[in-house]
Structure 1
Amino acid sequence: GARAPQTTDLYRLQINQTGDQARPEQIDSVELGVRARIGERVKIDLAGFWMEKRNFFFRDADGFNVTNGKTRHAGVEADIRILLHDRLTLESALTYAAHTYRFNRPTGRATESITKGDDIDTAPRVIANTRLRWSPTERAWLEAEWVSLGSYFTDAANDHAYEGHNLLHLRGEAAVSERLSAFLTLRNVTNKLYAERADFAFGSERFFPGEERTFGVGLRYRR
């Protein structure tokens, strides 16, 4: 694919910056997948992908427009569903991917200088989600969910990082009538301190806190 340069890309120059040749942004990508069943109880979806983006515009830490940005993204995704028992199901989704810079861009701030081969900041390599659901009857279910976010660098130079986090959530629902059901949720069961987002800016680490342990209950009406 390709994207034509935007007007702001072409003419929004900063002091001491000269114009550069504008080239269309190009994206090359490949994705392959396979789907399989093992008996009657296991379903597996696997996919691998590779993408390279070239000539993308962005503004660096010095406020200058950059015309030759280049990144590479490669990884695998897996989605697995296992019927452990007639009323017990395990589902898991996992992504492992490397998102890297493929060019060099020094800046006045060392922590924001880009080096070819470094990980893209705020791009975790591992994202995982696993759910265990028990349905004691056809009208009720309980579910435990484990969410995992891997560590990632918070600056372009890969000098600072967020360690990632693991969270446990619980939820359940039961039908009261044909149209009405009651549900409950308990998020962040262990009351873990974590960041929804983290970065390194203005010379210090910034963490945007996630929600603490939260309990919810309600009714759901279906027309």
Structure 2
Amino acid sequence: MRQNNFIDILHFRHACKVFDTNKKISPEDFELILEAGRLSPSSFGLEPTRLMIIRDKNLREKMKPLCWNQEQITTASELVVFKSRVSDLKAPTNYVSTMVSRRMGGDKSTYEAYQQRIRGFLVANDLLGENIINWTARQAYLMASSMMNCAAFLGIDSCPIEGFERTPIEKLFGIDTFKERVVLIVPFGYRLKEQPSKKYRISMDELVEYK
């Protein structure tokens, strides 16, 4: 049977609950994880996700009660807060114009038409109001997945955290919520204890339907 190393990586990855505080991720490995995020896909290539790396111990202690007192917040080697841009994505905007023009060179009429295509997508999917965060957040999840898989490849653990109080977290960091929102938190580090090898997933027959 052909061995698939990528599947082995996915078996290694799990939602690590407590990290070993005595083990630190090397700068070189963490840069690779960040690069995996930077190279991730995003809808229309707009790259709305921005990252905050939280290394200040006092900030982490303040974050912990706002994250349901989860141990990962203070035990992880690296703590990444994923933010999604909001107002800049409501095309047409200067931000969207800049991001689109990278691909289309100096042909202003072409990238202005593409901006309108993006605008049409937002209108058709009711994403111009508060719902836009539902779209931009999905781009952050794509990035987080790439980063967590890269970490697993390097033998580094992670845990995606949705359990946090968004408004207090945003106030803690002085975030202008008109411009951006916090959508996900992912700690990275090394597991304190070995995890059970068995993964609980639905069967392939239940997952996949062919038409």
Q: What is the TM-score normalised by the length of structure 1?
A: 0.22
Structure with bigger gyration radius = 1
Flag the structure with higher helix content.
2
